[in-house]
Structure 1
Amino acid sequence: MPTKPLVAPVRGFAVVEFEHRTLQLQKHMREQQVDAVFFTTEPEFRYFSGFKSQFWESPTRPWFLVVPAEGKPIAVVPEIGVSGFDQTWIEDVRSWPSPRPEDDGISLLATTLAEVSTRFRRVGAMLGPETHLRMPAQNFVALQQILMHHELVDVSSSVREIRSIKSQAEIEKVHFACGVAAAGFEYLRGHLSAGMTEREACKAMHLEMLRLGADNCPYLISSSGLGGYDNIIMGPTDRVLNDGDVLIIDTGTNFDGYFCDFDRNFGFGDVDSGTLRAYDAVYAATEAGLNIAAPGCTTGDVWQAMWTELEKGGALGNDVGRMGHGLGMQLTEWPSHVPNGDVELKAGMVLTLEPGMAFAPNKMMVHEDNIVITESGCELLHDRTWQTMPLI
């Protein structure tokens, strides 16, 4: 069980935090000569406004947030959502009666953008890697046509740089989510048995994490197999866990809109020695990552430190494409630990270390832990995984 009681942090953020986030973005905007930025996706919308709603699950209505070069953001939203902004720091809320497919907020958005983008006539949006626009393609085309005398530019690199450095309040939320998941894994270790299915194991852990304080667990996957598993993104299935099997569970538990993301491995009965050696190798690789992750280090340095240990352990390869990533309002965020990665780590970054390797044909072993970069190194956001594979 965790060494300290799980105490949930205060929900939400102080207004000063939203002011700071907005001022950071506006500094980047001035440097790029961008008059206004508009957001369409929930993480960015919530990050700069504080508006948190489950209504994002519905694809029926678009939502827009406009950040001008000076002053507070402006919400351009369906009428059904206006009252929700009473709980935010946003004062200028403009609305239309959505759903209205013939003009679902596009003319109102265009008018708002034109109003605040008269100096450089440059409008920013999230157009880079790992982003998307949450609006129909034809609506985006219509917006471009209305703003044909404006230049549309990508601001995703600025936004991801700002979001990559977490405040203490953000870190506390991730820390709590991590503590809940770690306790869930420990609970499961004491309640697993041969004869259970993957799905039954995951449900038992899911219920325990909700009991411990998780708001939800939208990401909980598993895989299993004799002597290891051949994928880490499917399941859970109704496969029965038997002697010699290895089960991996990877979870992204959420608290107040912030995720954890890490996995644990469980062996059943008599697990072959090659699998146990692979477990030891990924454990050692995580240690190497923990030892090197610090301000000034790069994502490529972290990758290389972990890969060196995996090669020593007999790794045949790694087909995941990376060995960890940023973490926060989204299950995976920028940056990624990749070969020759050049993103410099900075204090306040929350990241995962996820060394993984193929150790035999169609057999994988993966560990994933969550860390925060400090002024002098890094700290785990949960109890360290078991040094040797637990055998059920």
Structure 2
Amino acid sequence: MPDTPARGFPEAEFAARTARAQALMADQGLAGLLLTTEPEVRYFTGFHTLFWQSPTRPWFLFLPASGKPVAVIPEIGAALMRRTWITDIRTWSAPAPEDDGISLLIDLLSPLQGDTIGMLKGHETHMRMPLGDYERLMANLPGLNVADCTGLVRALRMVKSEAEIEKLSHICALGSATFARVPEIIHEGMPFDTAFRTFRREALAQGVDDAPYLVGGAAPGGYDDVISPPTARPLQMGDILMLDTGATWDGYYCDFDRNFAIGSADDLSRRAYDVLWRATEAGLAAARPGATCRDLFNAMQNVIREMDDQGGDVGRLGHGLGMQLTEWPSHAAFDETVIEENMVLTLEPSLGYGDGRIMVHEENIVVRQDGAHLLTTRAASDLPVI
């Protein structure tokens, strides 16, 4: 088992994140940021709870131009928020559909009328409050301007601190240890849904906190779908099995898959596996500071074209990784984000082959000054048979 890092972060980690955000806010003329979603609230506070899974209550964090963030949250979260570095915590008894924190937000933001604050408006963001409440808030703050701060928050979260990288390295090691056990715990004749449950139990035994994301496919000679729930169909001789896990430890995700042949592998599937393995090697070589996400996409796509001009038609060949299963950026032809040192990324080439079959491969990396370093244990170079 890998050494286990300390849970949580010291106060200095959150102070540094806040200071970096405030420097960017000053450059962009923002008087504050109003944040409503779990990753952003946790990023600046350390407030970590599964209670966000309930849609009943909204939660708010205001990051001012100077000083510490202000939490505007339901009273049920006050005790946990007091364990963070946040000292200004304003609460209400929730749920209160007629006024779910809106009066508190109006009081907080009224002095900023005439100024501009930032909210997340861009791709891969959402506003976790009722639209009607947002309209009511704005109606009571007619002089407040709201700009898109997606680029600002994205720039902060894409580049990880060493403390974040330590946690990501740990969860990737736990995921790798779980996959290493697959040939011993999954076998021909096992129902596919049982294989899912068996994998999850093994991941928990290895030390992950949770395995909330597990998808995959299994079919003779190759699978054609990797997002549907598993069925009770038994694994058969000649199946190509793929499992893709997003397991967590202390709020950080791994996200990678492995492919296995059940009993025997056909030549076409072996070739597809080889192409994807070499495409991943091309991605590893291309993932350097100064390259763009488009560069990574093209490097992998150039190998994939040996079998499939469409690259599996999934739109991208990897993404960012951290507190969410998928984060910015995307390895895609449309994404010209410049890769920076300490970004944590997935490399996820995929292809279509044969009669409607697909194959996907994925590794997790951290980009250092000298290039990509694997966080996952590299997959075998030949398609494993179990």
Query: Into which bin does the TM-score normalised by the smaller protein fall?
Result: over 0.9
Shift in Å at residue 191 of structure 1?
2.1
Q: 1:316 to 1:152 in 2, by over 3 A?
A: closer
- What amino acid sits opposite 1:110 in the alignment? I
Residue 13 and residue 337 in structure 1: after superposition, are their counterparts in 2 closer, same or farther (change >3 A)? Answer: same
Aligned residue for 2:260?
Answer: 266
Q: Which residue of 2 aligns with 1:13?
A: 9
Distance 2:213 2:271 in 1: 28
Aligned partners of 2:316 and 2:332 also within 8 Å: yes
Report the counterpart of residue 60 of structure 1 in structure 2: 56
Aligned residue number for residue 327 of structure 1: 321
Query: Could you state the TM-score of these two structures normalised by the residue count of structure 1?
Result: 0.96
Q: Does 1:130 align with 2:102?
A: no
Q: Deviations over 1:255-275 (max 9, x none)?
A: 000000000001012322111
Is 1:174 the counterpart of 2:153? The answer is no
Amino acid at match of 1:281: V
Query: Is 1:309 aligned to 2:297, yes or no?
Result: no
Report the Cα offset of residue 374 of structure 1. Answer: 0.2
Does the 8 A contact of 2:241 with 2:260 survive in 1?
yes
Gaps of 5+ in 1: none
Q: CA deviation at 1:73?
A: 0.1
User: C-alpha deviations, 1:83-128, integer Å up to 9, x for none?
Assistant: 112210100001111111100101111211223x25x511211111
Counting only pairs closer than 5 Å after superposition, residues 70-89 of structure 1 correspond to structure 2 as: 70-89=66-85
Kept in 2: contact 1:8–1:213 (CA 8 A): no
Q: Does 1:106 align with 2:106?
A: no
2:62 alignment partner AA: V
- In 1, distance between residues paired with 2:43 and 2:260? 37
1:28-39 to 2 correspondence within 5 Å? 28-39=24-35
Q: Using the alignment, how far apart are the partners of 1:154 and 1:204 within structure 2?
A: 44
2:198 is the counterpart of 1:204: yes
User: How far off is 1:292 after superposition?
Assistant: 1.3
Distance 1:366 1:122 in 2: 44
Match in the other structure for 1:141 = 135
Letter of the aligned partner of 1:199 in structure 2?
Answer: D
1:277 deviation in Å?
Answer: 0.3
Q: Does 1:299 align with 2:293?
A: yes
Contact 2:212 2:246 in 1 (8 A): yes
**Pair 1:344 & 2:344 matched:** no
> In the TM superposition, what is the alpha-carbon distance from 1:315 to its structure 2 partner?
5.0
Describe the SS at the equivalent of 2:211: strand
Determine the C-alpha separation between the residues in 1 that align with 2:311 and 2:179: 27
The answer to whether the 8 Å contact 2:32/2:118 transfers is: yes
Work out whether residues 307 and 351 of structure 2, in 8 Å CA contact, stay in contact via their aligned partners in 1: no
- TM-score w.r.t. the length of structure 2 is 0.98
Classify 1:113/1:316 alpha carbon distance in 2 versus 1 (closer, same or farther; 3 Å).
closer
Percent identity, please: 46
Moved over 3 A (4+): 313-317
Over the aligned positions, Cα root-mean-square deviation in angstroms equals 1.2
Q: 1:355 aligns with which of 326, 337, 349?
A: 349
2:242 pairs with one of 229, 248, 265: 248
Question: Relative to structure 1, is the Cα distance of residues 320 and 284 closer, same or farther in structure 2, using a 3 angstrom cutoff?
Answer: same
